[in-house]
Structure 1
């Protein structure tokens, strides 16, 4: 018993140290004092000028290097909008895909000056991103916006609540509330339990894809219309995932681990159908406004070398995403035209 307790304590301390090194907090990012709730908008935002583990929060409260509120003459400012897949808490500063995409542009255009705002916010969908843009980003003189939507979890939770499901994905035990290691063990056991019924629709929500697609379409159009009205050139990335239709059932179970945990009321086939349905909505955007679609999120291979979980990249996946995004932008006439308008020409 003493040996078991000792091993548990070593594991607990080690896990806390790893978490602190990566995220800058000992418990969880959600409980961190690094965040505050804005009195005007009700948005949960990050306090500026701090280091959260391997993530640097700049003078404006966004991930990345400091930038002035008003950009200098000749600077091309790029805004990245999204959720945790844009923020990328698991990736070392300077190695996340938004930062690396801008580095590649700067290298290709050595005589042009770029800066960027990574306004990726964990848990934000297009509705909250629009509120964030109108309240805090509109005044920052942005030229180009790259949006990676992150609405699926919220919309499926809304649909589940409408059908009477309890949308709490996990209720920690008293011990799990005190111990990170025990909480991790509980979560892993919960995932194993959910994997056993992943393909069954019994007791799960009834997917009304047309309904939630319509809600997503309306929000996405409002956000992109607002950006376009303010003179930004807009690019929207489709939603990628390690979970894909062409995988074997065994691979799908492995890939769906975090999706199953956070959305236990949704059958695995419906998770795939929802992401594909949302990408159909994104693909429709050029039919009714002047945006281009990026497919770079779909390119990283669906394996643990490129994904840490269902949705988030590893360092290798993030680098591949940045390279693919850069190449797609370079091939788009609208991007080249905007650079020329801003005085940046091909070397």
Structure 2
């Protein structure tokens, strides 16, 4: 008993030596977290805009019935089919003419309201012209590439009994995509997108949880552009360093045509060919080529390129290349670039995507160029 009485004070002292520093650390972390939350909230990265789940065919998709938020609190909700759209039955109602739209963040309507995205704007124009029986189904997913458009259509999209398929092909990401397998894509963990390798890490779920719930964790983990107010520009030549970094990566898309670029575009075009093949001869497939701001904003071009480099670029590329390649496989295209070039407004002041006005313009171009196609379709007579 005497030995025990001697050891107890020593044990208490050791416990005190452990607990006091630990408690001090926890209180310090808590104070930092509280201070950030009140005085300097740390925003999410721009990728964390909707809630994703894994998918065996596309790598990831929107989780049905999930809710997320874009910058400035704009809601990003998914319906029961995993689309940012109104509820749409899988079986097409009698008398309805249905257009299925495939695409990435431009199509899903990144950082604009659901009804402002160009597929819904297109639907309103079509209904005014052809009546209420027109239905445009928006199946776009932020971050998808042509491989995923094809995978989605082959495994899910064809079930919607569409009368026409429209592919929203954003040249900034889609023109030279090398994606050809699910393993090259991202995975979803806790609603967020992570690389395939990161998804296998032992503590990845804890990291995602902390990222969701802690300003301090986001401060330590953020590596790229974040969803802050500063990412929304005040004028057309108002570029943050983050924005310039994103656009600089995409500038080589607009180099003068070369054999290397033809090779790079072949995978993307072949993926869209898969959609055409799955659709068969009776279901029209049309590709809408959506331009990047690099092509239309001289101030951005001058910010990224010096005069000697500028002369090497052809800003009608890659559309001029893609139009020819799609023509070779029998796919018509709608080029939105000329209309954006002719419009004096700055349509990309919504981080890297279109403003609502940009979506309206794209919808009007697509609507006008769809008219001759729709005029010859029996389902609309």
Is the TM-score greater than 0.5?
A: yes
Residue of structure 2 equivalent to 1:114: 134
Instruction: Determine which of 357, 364, 368 is the counterpart of 1:323.
Output: 364
Q: CA deviation at 1:151?
A: 6.5
Within the alignment, does 1:138 sit opposite 2:187 as a pair? no
Instruction: Determine which of 307, 322, 345 is the counterpart of 1:281.
Output: 322
CA contact (8 A) 1:48 1:58 kept: yes
Residue of structure 2 equivalent to 1:177: 220
CA contact (8 A) 2:109 2:116 kept: no
Relative distance call for 1:119 and 1:279 in structure 2 (3 A) is farther
Relative distance call for 1:306 and 1:190 in structure 2 (3 A) is closer
| Equivalent residues in 2 for 1:200-219, closer than 5 Å | 208-219=260-271
| Equivalent residues in 2 for 1:55-204, closer than 5 Å | 55-110=76-131, 112-150=132-170, 152-153=172-173, 176-177=219-220, 188-189=240-241
SS of aligned partner of 1:124 = coil
Relative distance call for 1:146 and 1:157 in structure 2 (3 A) is closer
CA contact (8 A) 1:297 1:321 kept: no
Count of residues paired in the alignment: 292
CA contact (8 A) 2:99 2:162 kept: yes
Residue of structure 1 equivalent to 2:54: 37
Distance across 1 between alignment mates of 2:102 and 2:286: 10
CA contact (8 A) 1:79 1:146 kept: yes
Q: CA deviation at 1:129?
A: 1.1
For normalisation by structure 2, the TM-score amounts to: 0.63
Instruction: Determine which of 332, 340, 344 is the counterpart of 1:300.
Output: 340
Distance across 2 between alignment mates of 1:56 and 1:268: 42
Residue of structure 1 equivalent to 2:10: none
Relative distance call for 1:195 and 1:337 in structure 2 (3 A) is closer
Distance across 2 between alignment mates of 1:126 and 1:182: 24
Cα deviations by residue, 1:54-99 (Å, 9 ceiling, x for unpaired): 2332221111110111011111111111111111121112111100
Residue of structure 1 equivalent to 2:27: none
Within the alignment, does 1:335 sit opposite 2:374 as a pair? yes
Residue of structure 2 equivalent to 1:19: none
Distance across 2 between alignment mates of 1:81 and 1:174: 35
Relative distance call for 1:49 and 1:279 in structure 2 (3 A) is farther
Distance across 2 between alignment mates of 1:235 and 1:209: 22
Which runs of 5 or more residues in structure 2 are unaligned? 1-32, 70-74, 180-194, 196-215, 232-238, 253-257
Larger Rg: 2
Q: Which moved more, 1:94-103 or 1:28-37?
A: 28-37
SS of aligned partner of 1:323 = helix
Q: CA deviation at 1:196?
A: 10
Q: CA deviation at 1:271?
A: 10
Which runs of 5 or more residues in structure 1 are unaligned? 17-26, 160-167, 201-205, 261-266
Distance across 2 between alignment mates of 1:230 and 1:142: 13
For normalisation by structure 1, the TM-score amounts to: 0.68
Within the alignment, does 1:237 sit opposite 2:304 as a pair? no
CA contact (8 A) 2:176 2:261 kept: no
CA contact (8 A) 1:59 1:66 kept: yes
Q: CA deviation at 1:190?
A: 5.4
SS of aligned partner of 1:238 = strand
CA contact (8 A) 1:283 1:293 kept: no
Distance across 2 between alignment mates of 1:175 and 1:50: 22
Question: Alignment RMSD, CA only?
Answer: 4.3
CA contact (8 A) 1:237 1:295 kept: yes
Relative distance call for 1:37 and 1:310 in structure 2 (3 A) is same
Q: Which moved more, 1:142-151 or 1:85-94?
A: 142-151
Q: CA deviation at 1:230?
A: 6.3
